[in-house]
Amino acid sequence: MDRAAANLLEARPCRISSCTLERQGSAVDAAYVIKDADARHYMRLSEEGLFIWQLMDGRRTIRDLCEVYAATYQLPLSDLMQAIARLLENGFIEIEGLLDQMPQTEPPTALRRILGLCTCYWWLSDTDRTVTLLHAWTRPLYTSTAQLILLLCAAAGFIVFADHWARAGAGMSASASALPLWIASLTLHVVVHEAAHAATAKHFGRAVHRLGIGWYFFAPVAFVDTSDCWAAPRYERILVSVAGPYSNVVLSGAATLAALLQPAGPLADTLWSFGTIGYVLAIVNMNPLLELDGYYVAMDLLDLPDLRSRALGALAAALRGRSARGEQRQLRRILVVFGAASLAYGLVVVAAILIAGRAEAESIAAMGLPHAGAQALAWTLAGLMSLLAFNRVFTDVLKGWRAHRSCI
């Protein structure tokens, strides 16, 4: 054993007193979520992890913790060491003098910044007070009577929309397809979608610290930070995730019912178009293969944190002829199937960016360039975007393979 490793084993981790702990799950299958005082970092612990975390009092060394952990649970010590590293990284424990000995992380290079352009986010912080006001205004919508009315409106509107779509086909609402109107409709749906996430999280007593915009695989997105719900019961987390798409379905249902009462004309076409946008947005967000609302619903239904990373790691292990350590056979199959579907969908997205992006870029470039120049520019831009998207998919697979797939 070298000197650095020996020094590490003699280090004495100590819990940060300002961290709070919340219990999840049943008495049989319990888990715990710890968060810091500012509710910016969260970590999920099992009973074993809670046992070790409570022993971190600044008196016991890491060597002591390893001995207790091995004697009590007979589990690999690598699980414990990685958990200690995660606790330290997220600020839940401190080890005096250790951070001074650790090498400093180098800032990202220009190449890494460029490769990260496939997904970027910008946000406003300290938004919980605003969300509290929003919830105060929308509180009546969370009564049983109001929810029944909204559910009936959504169901009736969807039936009307499906019937109209079957009769009118994809050609409906052609007069309402102007770009400004489409952008305005989409913006309203997105604002209501994110407001529903935020208000529902606040309805369950959770904080919402950030809201922002960005792009995900070059598609524009908006988001609210509902990570405080990670410490909530599973059904509350699912309702918070579903609230956004549900609000779009309700809005679309109301629009299609209103369109049904209108004579044929621009107003009716606008309402049908508005409904279509809402339904499409809800379907896209409920796709579990994207890290959007449907993904988090699937993660909570399966009770598998870091589902995508674990699934890609299980897929990589299966392709190398190895089984994911500690995973039951049925769970391993679920992870491999989900990982394969996520990888395939990611490659489809890359192909779509190449094809659709090239066509759109060429049509724009053709306004000021000759045909050959527009084609060359379009293929170049589409190729670069595809490479960045493929790098994101490859990085996700590599991260999943390297990630530790057990949580103590």
> What is the distance, to the nearest Å, from the Cα of residue 57 to the centroid of all Cα atoms in its chain?
34
In the prediction, which pLDDT does 149 show?
Answer: 96
| pLDDT tens by residue, 60-77 | 888 888 888 888 877 677
Show the tokens assigned to 267: 């107003």
Q: Which amino acid is at 165?
A: W
| Cα separation, 84 vs 56, whole angstroms | 10
Mean pLDDT over 226-253 rounds to 93
pLDDT at 360 > cutoff 70: yes
Could you tell me where the beta strands, DSSP code E, fall in 219-285?
219-224
Tens digits of per-residue pLDDT, 122-142?
A: 888 889 999 999 999 999 999
Given a cut of 50, is residue 256 above it in pLDDT?
yes
Is residue 62 exposed (0-12), middle (13-18) or buried (19+ Cβ within 10 Å)?
buried
Residues 6+ apart with CB under 8 A from 156: 253, 257
pLDDT greater at residue 288 or residue 23: 288
- Kindly state the average pLDDT of the residues 226-241: 89
CATH number of 3-101: 3.90.930
Check residue 97 and give its pLDDT: 59
Nearest to 390 by CA among 214, 220, 218: 218
